[in-house]
Amino acid sequence: MAFHTINGRSVAYRLLGAASNPLVVLAHPLGMSQAVWDDVIPALLPRYRVLTWDLPGHGASQAVKGDAITPADLAAEALALVELAGAARFHFAGTSIGGVVGQQLIAEHTDRLLSVTLTNTGAVIGNPELWNTRAGRIRQEGLAAMSQEIVPRWFAPAVFEANPALQVGWCVQMGRGDNESYAQLCEMLGRETFTGKLSGKQMNVQLFGGSEDLATPPATLEVLATELDGAPLEVFDGVGHVPSVEAPALFAEKLLTAMAVQLGDVANHGVAYATGLETRKQVLGEEHVARSTANATSLDAPFQQMITRLAWGELWSNDDLTRRERSMITTGILAALGREELTLHLKTAKRIGLSEAELRQVLMHVAIYGGVPAANHAFALAKELGWGE
């Protein structure tokens, strides 16, 4: 876990995975913490860089300061962490109040988003009287006492029956939060809605809900789907309010599908240039791509556009292989052929996070199947580029 100061307040976050992978930002529910993603993250890391953080007064993040908090404040916090990660655009997934952050990003920052997955949330959640009453009780009774009443509403009954310690554990976690921060977030949910703010955004949005969710039942998600111009909605049977905890394997599978690049009818139409350009920047770095673009002339500009669409769009953007696997394949082929771009892809392999042992095995395969001289040249070049001790 790391910490970053945003508007004078310390924010706890995690940034995991290779910088060359597309970034996905995960926002947790009210009263919980970024730990809700722990069982989902391992499935994402082979293909994505993952950013999670604790909301104000939750987990290890400092409590709120000053004026009433707004969805714009929470979205600004997320964007500040995205800037820290160095990403221009990113995928977003949020549950409950985390989904409210996602709606704010859709409403005001569509240009930054690759896709949005909203789970167990709504354009309107509950009503002002409910949230203001809860805020008052939290200030009077405290989170530790109220957790005994609130936590059981998060999960389907069968989940508690299968794992009784789950309720106790999350009661402890909730009880450690800051009362005032939680109360202000309750008041925000009672005050703010996204009715009429989400239409016409032309975003890749996916909605998930739980059949046993008491806080944001499927009907609430159906209204949100309408606000989002008919965004697809899937309801998980037997799941409550927090699918990343109750059904992490299912949730990870669905999230990976939702975030996958939509390659469309490749055979007839090809991949959009923008898709290839996004991937090319992520893998090679924006500076390299900017140099290649700047150096292009009337002679090779169409060639640059072609390789952006074909190599980086239809090939590297495809999720059938991870970018790590594609890096090893590409490095091996270039080494065997002795091509000029081997230098670039040796640098890329390091950027992607290949280990010294993995590169060694790639080049030893080249020696056996492509020839010892080719492998010897590749080893020497790799050493010049800083590989090895």
Convert the pLDDT of each residue in 124-170 to its tens digit: 999 999 999 999 999 999 999 999 999 999 999 998 888 989 999 99
Token pair of 147 as six digits: 């957790």
Query: What would the mean pLDDT of 106-112 be, rounded to a whole number?
Result: 95
pLDDT > 60? residue 268: no
* CATH superfamily assigned to domain 2-259: Alpha/Beta hydrolase fold, catalytic domain (3.40.50.1820)
182's enclosing H/E stretch is helix 179-191
Average pLDDT, the chain: 92
Q: Once rounded to an integer, what is the mean pLDDT over residues 60-64?
A: 95
Give me the mean pLDDT over the 36-62 stretch.
Answer: 97
State mean pLDDT over 198-222.
94
User: 94 and 149 in contact (C-beta within 8 Å)?
Assistant: no
Give me the sheet containing 90-95, strands edge to edge: 2-6, 9-16, 49-53, 23-27, 90-95, 113-119, 205-210, 233-236
For residue 82, what are the contacts with CB-CB under 8 A and spacing of at least 6? 23, 25, 51, 90, 112
Tell me how far apart the terminal alpha carbons of the chain are, to the nearest angstrom.
29
Which residue, 89, 98, 5, is CA-closest to 49? 89
pLDDT surpasses 50 at 70: yes
**Domains in the chain: boundaries:** 2-259, 266-384
Average pLDDT over every residue of 171-179 = 95
Work out the pLDDT band at 334, boundaries 50, 70, 90: very high
Quote the CA–CA distance of 198 and 357 in Å, as a whole number.
Answer: 48
pLDDT band at 67 (very low <50, low <70, confident <90, very high): confident
- Gap between the Cα atoms of 335 and 327, Å rounded: 12
Please tell me the CATH code under which domain 266-384 is placed: 1.20.1290.10
φ/ψ of 206, rounded to 5, equals -130, 135
- pLDDT at site 263: 54
The full 3-state SS of 31-83, as one line of letters, equals CCCHHHHCCCHHHHCCCCEEEEECCCCCCCCCCCCCCCCCHHHHHHHHHHHHH
Condensed to tens digits (0 to 9), the pLDDT of residues 10-38 reads 999 999 999 889 999 999 999 999 999 99
Residue 266 pLDDT > 50: no
Q: What kind and span of H or E run contains 214?
A: none
Confidence class of residue 69 from pLDDT cuts 50, 70 and 90? very high
The pLDDT assigned to 269 comes to 57
Kindly state the DSSP code that residue 296 receives in the 8-state scheme: -
Which pLDDT score is estimated for 294? Answer: 83
Is the pLDDT at 113 greater than 90, yes or no? Answer: yes
